[in-house]
Amino acid sequence: MSYLDKITDIYDHIAQGTALDAFEEYYGEDVVMVLEDGTEVEGKDTNRERENEFFDSVEAFHGIEVTSITSNEEEATTAVESAMDVTFKGGDRVSLEQVAVQHWDGDKIARERFYATQ
């Protein structure tokens, strides 16, 4: 399975509401996720908690649009531009636009960085 196939599968999971299944399958135990503000979150357990907190804060998921997806197979790097339409609990409906860049180590994401506007 190519890196393009893997990252496409992850975003298919997000669209289907099974993002955490993709997280378990594709993220390494020592993954580092770099948030929009530059904060580095280390480790799969810590990032799982952060992901769960995000999804718990969502009242309604209205969909995701992937506007661009690419892969450099030789460098084991993928990137995705997307917009997620969500309503937060007790809040407004918003479109979260982001670019996420993934660096892979074998079949697992070792590092992911998010660039976003809200």
Q: What are the E-state strand segments in the chain?
A: 27-34, 40-42, 58-72, 77-88, 93-105, 108-117
> How far apart, in whole angstroms, are the C-alpha atoms of residue 56 and residue 19?
13
Query: How crowded is residue 68: how many other Cβ atoms within 10 Å of its Cβ?
Result: 9
Query: pTM above the 0.85 mark?
Result: yes
pLDDT at res. 117:
76
Question: Each residue's pLDDT tens digit in the chain (118 positions)?
Answer: 999 999 999 999 999 999 999 999 999 999 999 999 999 999 999 999 999 999 999 999 999 999 999 999 999 999 999 999 999 999 999 999 999 999 999 999 999 999 997 5
pLDDT at res. 118:
58
* Residue 1: strand, helix, or coil: coil
109 close to 77: Cβ distance less than 8 angstroms: no
pLDDT at res. 39:
96
> How far apart, in whole angstroms, are the C-alpha atoms of residue 28 and residue 8?
17
